[in-house]
Structure 1
Amino acid sequence: MVVDNLEQGYFGIGILNGKTPANLGVLWRSAQNMGASFIFTIGNRYHKQASDTHKAVGAMPYFHYDTFEDFYRHLPKSALLIGVELNENAKPLETFQHPRRAVYLLGAEDHGLSNEAIKKSHILVQFKSTYSLNVAVAGSIVMYDRSMKGTVIY
């Protein structure tokens, strides 16, 4: 089997200052099911939770960063940071083409992404919703969209 490195891809997903431990576990279960390469948290609100019933933390790399700056310094060089946020500059997920190498960042339900995270995201995406959604649900929708559409080289 010949592997073409330009065709390979990966993605990670995580939460900035996640509020509810159960949401982390649900997001991680979805990440494991949707083929994520790694998961992460940023900030000091993370706690081990019972909702990670698939033990995703043991099945794929998990990273924790104390600050957004620390996370951003460790962003893989070839990956695009995709902020998921209700924002006037965000591209609609419905027509978005996912990059092969991406790191998806979600904000906490009570604060969303920080201004710094919005500013440093390479791309912002959002999807149609009457009201804001649970962070684990929003992340699961983004990962499902990626799995259905596939990826493109950016």
Structure 2
Amino acid sequence: MHTETDSTHPKKRSRYERYVNRPSMRKERGFACIGLDRPTDPVNVGHALRAAFCFDAKLVIIGGNPSGIRLPKLHTDPMRSFRHIPVIRSNNLLDAVPEGTTIVGIELSDDASTLMDFNHPERACYIFGPENGSISDDILDHCTHKVMIPTMASLNLGMTVNIVMYDRLAKAWPKMQPRLERIDRASSHTTFGTNE
């Protein structure tokens, strides 16, 4: 029989202590959000929401409050991403951009950087224009960066969101690896939800 003072048997931590002292599952600091400026095609909005879910965007903003886009009815978003990610509709997309976020306009323009050379900000809101036009001039004036994907022809909205969000993840991956390994090691020594 041993006592709690026995050094060979450390005191069992309470459920609260295990919860408070658990390792953070956050992969890195920062976040990304997606802004859709006056989208017109529900199919593309569904693809954009699915990309947001797959690539861990924290917020989706639908600007211009388009009619005909009903989130529960989007066939191209079978995951029902709006149940997992906040979706805000706003007549003025800029009003819904989180404080302290760098606004990045994804736009084919002469003064835009190419996506391959772009270093993604820690906290970014990526703005994508409508299928049949460009990002509004008012929003472009507020963009800290303008970025383009060099292609032979314009991409559809859903595909553009997927490419940009994947690029953000791919460029962050080398920095995330050491932290993920530390989290894996720490998690293997911690149990959650066990009965006392």
Deviations 1:63-96 (A, max 9, x none): 11012xxx32332221101000001111110010
Q: Secondary structure at the match of 1:150?
A: helix
Identical counterparts, % of pairs: 27
Equivalent in the alignment of 2:87: 62
Alignment deviations for residues 24-58 of structure 1 (CA, whole Å, 9 cap, x no partner): 00111111001111112001325112222110011
Q: Flag as ranges the 4+ runs of structure 1 deviating above 2 A.
A: none
Q: Distance in 2 between matches of 1:150 and 1:29?
A: 20
Distance in 2 separating the partners of 1:40 and 1:74: 7
1:35 corresponds to which of 56, 77, 81: 56
Which amino acid counterpart does residue 117 of structure 1 have in structure 2? I
User: Per-residue deviation at 1:112?
Assistant: 1.4
Q: Which residue does 2:169 correspond to in 1?
A: 147
Gaps of 5+ in 2: 1-21, 176-196
Aligned position for 1:117: 139
Aligned residue pairs: how many? 147
Q: Secondary structure, in 3 states, of the residue corresponding to 2:83?
A: helix
2:65/2:89 contact within 8 Å kept: no
Are 2:114 and 1:92 equivalent residues in the alignment?
yes
Identify the match of residue 154 of structure 2 among 113, 132, 144: 132
Distance 2:123 2:117 in 1: 18
Q: Write the letter of the residue equivalent to 1:114.
A: S
Alpha-carbon distance in 2 for matches of 1:10, 1:105: 14
Question: TM-score, normalised to structure 1's length?
Answer: 0.88
User: Aligned equivalents of 2:163 and 2:59: distance in 1?
Assistant: 17
Richer in helix (by share): 2
| Paired position in structure 1 for 2:75 | 50
Query: For residues 100-124 of structure 1, what are the alpha-carbon distances to aligned partners after superposition, in whole Å with 9 as ceiling and x for unaligned?
Result: 1000000001111011111111111
What amino acid is aligned across from residue 74 of structure 1 in structure 2?
A
State the alpha-carbon separation in 2 of the partners of residues 74 and 133 from structure 1.
26
Q: Which moved more, 1:122-131 or 1:39-48?
A: 39-48
Aligned partner letter, 1:64 = R
Normalized per residue, the structure richer in strand is 1
TM-score scaled by structure 2?
0.70
Please say if 1:108 is aligned against 2:126: no
Partner of 2:43: 22
Structure 1 portions without partners, runs of 5+? none
